[in-house]
């Protein structure tokens, strides 16, 4: 081993989702030695529709002289003009300019698998050490051994710090933080699909509106206890749709739980959604549809292990419902912030991790919480043109300026020294008091008292 390799901080990263890959890329670019350990066999082609907005998109844009951002843009929605909102009667309630149309950079929407592959390829091109087919069964967090144990082989991968980016069902939460599983059924699940439209499918008259050669379409429908999106892009060739529905069957939490068309039709009928939905579902190959359980997990009181040398991040720390419209972006913010803290702490891992937590905690928490309130606003109102006029800021994506315009890397650079001083001086207080303010709220969406989380969970648990 060269002297250089010996000195590099070994960062063991569990999970090669967007959080883990971003952490690995940012650590590598900052001169550390990240080691990614992932249970899947390779870059996962799973998933359907995923949106990144500029608070995360600007991190991707900063890579490889903008080439990663260009590839992400080329692979997904890049010619949409508007995001159109409809009610169940197919009345157009509002039409917001699609941000790319207003020249806003850093918006990447499209097929999760395609975007994941682009980020994975970039990580690979940087020569990042990645171990696939390697399920972690044990986390080690002692001064003697810090790292992970891989299933079957029992191989240990050790380092100076462990970043558990192991997703919603995180093993690290129990093993590193000692927390019991706190899963609460949110009461909803989401049908999800991505498929390519064939020439034959494009003949369907009801789809003509959605499958334009020169324009991508992004549409949103809202009704009682249900909302859904249909996106088309790539000259109307690629289609993804998602439909949040009541989870009365209490399905399993998995990215591969199959969806049955008869169930989708039945929910569409209950919510009286328009015919175009039935047609899109009819065209979707059944093996391209999943039903994904939307689980709620209460916010954690800390993201750090007692040694302060291991952290949970991304969905492992704060698993959003899709209605925050920012869960993946928050995972990317975590990852980019962590790399800056590790770099600045120059080997003092507990310092880095404590500053990381204080930078991220409140902002992440407020955005996480909004996912329930927003869903209730969508689902618990009878949306008409009159209502939209009366509450113009309510039927919107919860992507307010303070969320979108945030530069997480600049924020970390600017606040690191002050927060590091707080840690070193032993400043006391709750994690909320010690952390940076969230920087905003969702009051403009007119959240009502009855829309709060307690009310929603009481109803559905
Ligand atoms: C297969 C899949 C499909 C998805 N599809 C969509 C989608 O269509 N739309 C959407 O909005 N969001 C989707 N998501 C979720 C979305 O990507 C995440 O919410 C978001 O990007 C946050 O990412 P994360 O890296 O924190 O967590 P995740 O994306 O969940 O990544 C966690 C990673 O950790 C790995 N992992 C977990 N436990 C272990 C272990 N013990 N050992 C080793 N590795 C482990 C998992 O295999 C996974 O790759 C999907 C996630 C996955 C894993």
Residue 208 alpha carbon to ligand 1 centre in Å? 34
Task: For residue 225, give both structure tokens.
Answer: 């206890």
Residue 167 alpha carbon to ligand 1 centre in Å? 5
Output b/e per residue, 103-116; b: 16+ Cβ within 10 A: eeebbbbbbbbbbb
Q: Please work out whether the CB of residue 398 comes within 6 Å of at least one atom of ligand 1.
A: no
Chain-centroid distance, C-alpha 190: 15
The pLDDT value given to residue 448: 57
Residue 338 alpha carbon to ligand 1 centre in Å? 18
Q: Taking every pair of C-alpha atoms in the chain, what is the biggest distance, in angstroms?
A: 70
Instruction: List the one residue out of 416, 344, 347, 339 whose CA is nearest residue 25.
Output: 339
Q: Whose CA is nearest to atom 12 of ligand 1?
A: 50
4-26 pLDDT, tens per residue? 555 899 999 999 999 999 999 99
Residue 389 has pLDDT above 80, yes or no: yes
> Distance (Å, rounded) from C-alpha 150 to C-alpha 174?
17
More confident site: 45 or 131: 131
The pLDDT value given to residue 132: 97
User: Please, which pLDDT band fits residue 85 given cuts at 50, 70 and 90?
Assistant: very high
Residue 173 alpha carbon to ligand 1 centre in Å? 15
CB 159, CB 35: distance < 8 Å: yes
Question: H or E element: which one contains 261?
Answer: helix 261-270
| 276-280, 296-300, 348-352, range with the lowest pLDDT | 296-300
The two beta strands, 216-223 and 226-233, are antiparallel
Chain-centroid distance, C-alpha 450: 26
Residue 460 has pLDDT above 50, yes or no: no
Q: Whose CA is nearest to atom 29 of ligand 1?
A: 17
Look-up of token digits 């009345």: 91
Q: Please work out whether the CB of residue 110 comes within 6 Å of at least one atom of ligand 1.
A: no
Q: Global pTM? A: 0.94
Instruction: List the one residue out of 407, 228, 438 whose CA is nearest residue 318.
Output: 438
The pLDDT value given to residue 449: 45
More confident site: 58 or 248: 58
- Percent of all residues in the chain with a pLDDT value above 90, rounded to a whole number: 73
């Amino acid at each position: 081993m060269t002297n250089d390799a010996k000195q590099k901080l070994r960062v063991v990263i569990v999970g090669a989702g967007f959080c883990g890959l971003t952490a690995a890329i940012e650590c590598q670019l900052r001169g550390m030695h990240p080691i990614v350990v992932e249970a899947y066999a390779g870059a996962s082609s799973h998933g359907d529709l995923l949106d990144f907005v500029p608070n995360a998109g600007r991190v991707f844009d900063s890579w490889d002289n903008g080439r990663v951002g260009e590839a992400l843009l080329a692979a997904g929605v890049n010619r949409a003009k508007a995001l159109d909102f409809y009610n169940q009667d197919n009345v157009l309630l509002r039409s917001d300019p699609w941000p790319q149309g207003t020249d806003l950079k850093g918006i990447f929407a499209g097929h999760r698998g395609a975007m994941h592959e682009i980020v994975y390829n970039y990580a690979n091109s940087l020569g990042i050490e990645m171990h696939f087919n390697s399920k972690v069964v044990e986390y080690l967090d002692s001064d003697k051994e810090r790292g992970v144990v891989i299933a079957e082989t029992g191989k240990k991968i050790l380092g100076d710090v462990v970043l558990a980016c192991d997703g919603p069902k995180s093993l690290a939460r129990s093993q590193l933080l000692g927390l019991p599983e706190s899963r609460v059924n949110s009461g909803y699940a989401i049908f999800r699909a991505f498929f390519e439209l064939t020439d034959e499918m494009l003949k369907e008259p009801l789809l003509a509106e959605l499958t334009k050669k020169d324009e991508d379409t992004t549409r949103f429908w809202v009704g009682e206890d249900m909302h859904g999106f249909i996106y088309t892009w790539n000259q109307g060739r690629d289609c993804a749709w998602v439909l949040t529905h009541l989870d009365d069957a209490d399905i399993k939490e998995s990215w591969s739980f199959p969806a049955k068309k008869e169930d989708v039709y039945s929910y569409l009928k209950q919510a009286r959604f328009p015919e175009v939905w039935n047609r899109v579902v009819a065209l979707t190959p059944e093996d391209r549809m999943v039903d994904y359980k939307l689980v709620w997990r209460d916010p954690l009181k800390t993201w750090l292990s007692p040694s302060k040398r291991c952290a949970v991040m991304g969905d492992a720390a704060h698993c959003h419902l899709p209605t925050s419209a920012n869960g993946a972006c928050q995972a990317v913010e975590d990852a980019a912030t962590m790399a800056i803290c590790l770099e600045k702490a120059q080997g003092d891992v507990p310092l880095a991790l404590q500053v990381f937590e204080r930078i991220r905690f409140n902002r992440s928490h407020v955005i996480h919480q909004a996912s329930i309130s927003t869903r209730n606003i969508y689902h618990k109102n009878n949306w008409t043109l009159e209502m939209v006029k009366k509450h113009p800021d309510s039927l919107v994506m919860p992507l307010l300026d303070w969320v979108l315009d945030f530069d997480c890397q600049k924020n970390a650079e600017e606040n690191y020294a002050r927060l590091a001083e707080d840690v070193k001086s032993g400043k006391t207080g709750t994690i909320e008091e010690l952390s940076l303010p969230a920087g905003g709220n969702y009051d403009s969406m007119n959240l009502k008292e009855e829309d709060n989380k307690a009310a929603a969970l009481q109803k559905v648990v």
